[in-house]
Structure 1
């Protein structure tokens, strides 16, 4: 008998392989690591400490006043978390959110329009450039939206809302497909 439950990705299985409709691609991203960093440390200093602690392929996303999410596709090693926590001692606190949040990507030319149907954030590239992030609501679900490219975004959501948000976005993409077919 196992003492601890096994980790199972929340967006696993045939229903979450990826959706491509109306020029939009929706895909579950690897459940790597997501750290919440809080403190009076500048992003450049945080980036330097991340490199020292071995988080070379992680990205930093603003999550609020003096708050950042550090996200990456590689699962978290306890030694890396310990090294980062020690390096940031007295400057910031680190909390592992890997188990509690899920990331997925949405891309394609109409992705900005699709997301705009559910959020009040202005996603125009001149206002919301690549690397920009915002904590917002998408419909009734709290998410962090990050622009990762000209026509691509990454969404981070609480684990318990991931399936619901996936369903909402899939429905919106299917509706966009129907709308474009009717206009043709």
Structure 2
């Protein structure tokens, strides 16, 4: 019988880049669930708490669409319990295997991201918790502000390597250096 393919994290071995004003790192390949339906982000968040997913966050992804993101992989019973709780109001599609999350933070994070996206990242226009489906260069991403100077970029798995390399070059140009992962 042939061996089954094993999942290898797409950004495995990529160094963290850190400088005085920039930090770039690949986030763990945890979970990313796409929720679609007539429900609010507050209702989704309450279901997450009931399922014990306190560390997961809910991000808008379009009209009546959200992403639920977190660092831990979810067991099938937890995903099923969440799907059952949302039944009749929303559907869940597990995107964990197909998307990668990258973290960019620091005082120069906005300046770095402005090199590749047209989203107005000024805090008044894009406050913490805001999300936008956009482009970074030629690559489609979901950009989320997770803190004052913290951003998360979610990208299709097949584009993750290219995006990370582009972000690495920018981070290095902002004075960051490689830190062994």
TM-score range, shorter chain: over 0.9
In 2, Cα distance between equivalents of 1:25 and 1:56 = 25
Retained in 2: the 8 A contact 1:22–1:174?
A: no
Residue by residue, what CA displacement relative to the aligned partner does 1:110-143 show, whole Å, maximum 9, x if unpaired? 1101101111100011111111111100000001
Paired position in structure 2 for 1:11:
11
Paired position in structure 2 for 1:70:
68
The answer to whether 1:155 aligns with 2:153 is yes
Match of residue 106, structure 1, among 100, 104, 107? 104
Residue 177 of structure 1 aligns to a residue in which SS?
A: coil
Residue by residue, what CA displacement relative to the aligned partner does 1:67-107 show, whole Å, maximum 9, x if unpaired? 00000011111000110111111100000000000001001
In 2, Cα distance between equivalents of 1:58 and 1:140 = 28
Retained in 1: the 8 A contact 2:22–2:174?
A: no
Unpaired segments of 5 or more residues in structure 2? 177-181
Unpaired segments of 5 or more residues in structure 1? 179-184
Retained in 2: the 8 A contact 1:105–1:155?
A: yes
- Give 1:36-51 correspondences, 5 Å limit: 36-51=34-49
Alpha-carbon distance, 1:22 to partner? 6.2
What's the Cα RMSD here? 1.5
Retained in 2: the 8 A contact 1:106–1:152?
A: yes
- Give 1:109-128 correspondences, 5 Å limit: 109-128=107-126
In 2, Cα distance between equivalents of 1:151 and 1:51 = 26
Length, aligned pairs only:
176
Paired position in structure 2 for 1:181:
none
Q: 1:34 to 1:2 in 2, by over 3 A?
A: farther
Tell me which of the two structures has the higher relative contact order, counting C-alpha pairs closer than 8 angstroms and 6 or more residues apart: 2
- Higher helix fraction: Structure 1 or Structure 2? 1
Paired position in structure 2 for 1:182:
none
**Superposition TM-score, scaled by structure 1 size:** 0.91
Alpha-carbon distance, 1:53 to partner? 2.2
Retained in 2: the 8 A contact 1:55–1:80?
A: no
